[in-house]
């Protein structure tokens, strides 16, 4: 008899567990389905679940239910934030601030801090905004620990919008707010030059370079990108300084005229083009261009930006071997290779056949950098070249 009773009790207990588990699963599914009716059905299944009550209140923005929810669970940051935003919408600034501050107090993650910072921005309270945004910046984590990290760009945007709308936070003080950490300073540098705030980026550069992880491809890309931004902005002296600092830290290879360092295709480094029909090999201290005879009649092979001074005479000097390039049944003639030197986008100062030798040119009054280019153009009356061109050095010299 006792065994029968125990079996019945066990059956009833198991049935209750299955019913309870099923009810919880159904309620959870309904609560995440996205409609007010489904929240109601979920609460019918689990009337004592405070998270469901809070979720429905937030969904409906039902102030009475929200207050009931925070009374049941004072640690419900989402409910506090919704109450704060509702108070702001009806013009109750004191209650809005109190509720949003409470949300940030009970939940130390990014979202409540960000919501509070946005409120202070809208309320034009720059000093309180400063404290809230500093907290947001302190909560930004490295990108490699997703999903709990955040893109800091909106935070930086809000800082600069605050600066533009209120003179109480100057551009320099924004940098003071940014924690001296890789995950904030390097993205801040990238944000500044991507939004053409070049002077502010130059101010942030030393600290960003100091905290950056040079082994990180993302950090290296951001740092090199700054040098390229300076080149595009024609801030050439600063670009040279930044490039040299990158080379000192081996983020970019130190270059020399003899091609001992690999071409990385960024900043002041050589860009090697790979036109169809041309194969390029980087050998120790040489570049080899092998032409199959199927290349285009006109193509660029190699180019780079180089810093110069305006209104000065310069000489481009190079060493090249075209003896293995055959044109017109093996007769060596004008194979069609030439160097072009000109402004990055505009005037060409000189065009020189790429035989061993040199070529002089004079820069214009506003010229801070030139574009050096090696091209191939099929010479009139000649067939397309076939063979190997070897380039062993290229250097730019300032004439006395």
- Based on the structure, what is the number of domains in the chain? 1
In a domain, 284, yes or no: yes
Name residue 317's beta-bridge partners.
358, 395
Q: Kindly report, residue by residue over 110-155, the tens digit of the pLDDT.
A: 899 999 999 999 998 988 998 999 998 888 876 544 444 567 888 9
In a domain, 358, yes or no: yes
Report which listed range, 11-15, 37-41, 320-324, is most confident.
320-324
Look at phi and psi of residue 234 and say left if phi exceeds 0, alpha if psi is from -120 to 50, else beta. left
In a domain, 35, yes or no: no
Structural domain containing residue 376: 271-398
**327 CA to centre of own chain:** 47
Q: What is the CATH number of the domain that holds 342?
A: 2.60.120.260
Asked if 309 and 236 touch (Cβ cutoff 8 Å), the reply is: no
In a domain, 38, yes or no: no
Q: What is the pLDDT of residue 328?
A: 46
Write the DSSP string, 15-82: HHHHHHHHHHHHHHHHHTT--HHHHHHHHHH-TT-HHHHHHHHHHHT-HHHHHHHHHH-TT-HHHHHH
Q: What is the pLDDT of residue 234?
A: 93
Q: Is the predicted pLDDT of residue 20 greater than 80, yes or no?
A: no
Q: What is the pLDDT of residue 381?
A: 79
Phi then psi for residue 86, to 5 deg, are: -65, -45
Percent of the chain with pLDDT over 70: 78
Which tokens is 193 given?
A: 């030059």
326 vs 167, residue with greater confidence: 326
């Amino acid at each position: 008899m006792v065994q029968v009773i125990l079996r019945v009790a066990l059956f009833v207990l198991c049935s209750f567990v299955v019913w309870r588990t099923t009810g919880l699963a159904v309620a959870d599914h309904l609560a995440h389905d996205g409609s007010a009716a489904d929240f109601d059905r979920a609460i019918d299944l689990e009337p004592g679940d405070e998270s469901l009550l809070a979720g429905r209140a937030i969904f409906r923005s039902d102030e009475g239910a929200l207050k009931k929810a925070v009374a049941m669970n004072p640690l419900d940051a989402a409910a506090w934030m919704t109450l704060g935003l509702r108070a702001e919408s009806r013009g109750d600034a004191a209650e809005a601030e109190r509720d949003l501050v409470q949300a940030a107090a009970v939940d130390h993650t990014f979202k409540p801090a960000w919501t509070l910072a946005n409120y202070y921005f809208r309320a034009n309270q720059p000093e309180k905004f400063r404290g809230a945004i500093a907290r947001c910046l302190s909560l930004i984590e490295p990108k490699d620990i997703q999903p709990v990290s955040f893109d800091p760009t909106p935070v930086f945007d809000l800082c600069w919008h605050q600066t533009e709308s209120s003179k109480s936070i100057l551009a320099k003080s924004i940098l003071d707010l940014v924690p001296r950490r890789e995950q904030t300073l390097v993205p801040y540098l990238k944000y500044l030059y991507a939004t053409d705030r070049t002077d502010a980026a130059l101010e942030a550069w030393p600290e960003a370079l100091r905290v950056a992880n040079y082994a990180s491809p993302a950090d290296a890309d951001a740092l090199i990108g700054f040098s390229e931004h300076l080149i595009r902005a024609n801030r050439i002296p600063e670009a040279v300084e930044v490039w040299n600092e990158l080379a000192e830290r081996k983020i970019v290879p130190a270059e020399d005229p003899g091609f001992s360092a690999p071409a990385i295709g960024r900043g002041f480094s050589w860009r090697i083009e790979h036109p169809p029909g041309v194969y390029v090999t980087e050998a120790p201290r040489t570049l080899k261009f092998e032409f199959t005879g199927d290349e285009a009649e006109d193509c660029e092979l190699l180019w780079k930006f180089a810093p110069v001074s305006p209104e000065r005479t310069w000489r481009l000097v190079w060493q090249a071997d075209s003896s293995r390039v055959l044109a017109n049944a093996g007769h060596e003639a004008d194979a069609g290779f030439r160097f072009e030197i000109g402004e990055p986008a505009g005037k060409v100062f000189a065009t020189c056949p790429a035989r061993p030798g040199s070529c002089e040119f004079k820069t214009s009054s506003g010229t801070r950098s030139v574009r050096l280019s090696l091209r191939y153009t099929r010479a009139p009356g000649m067939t397309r070249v076939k063979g190997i061109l070897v380039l062993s050095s290229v250097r730019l010299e300032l004439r006395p």
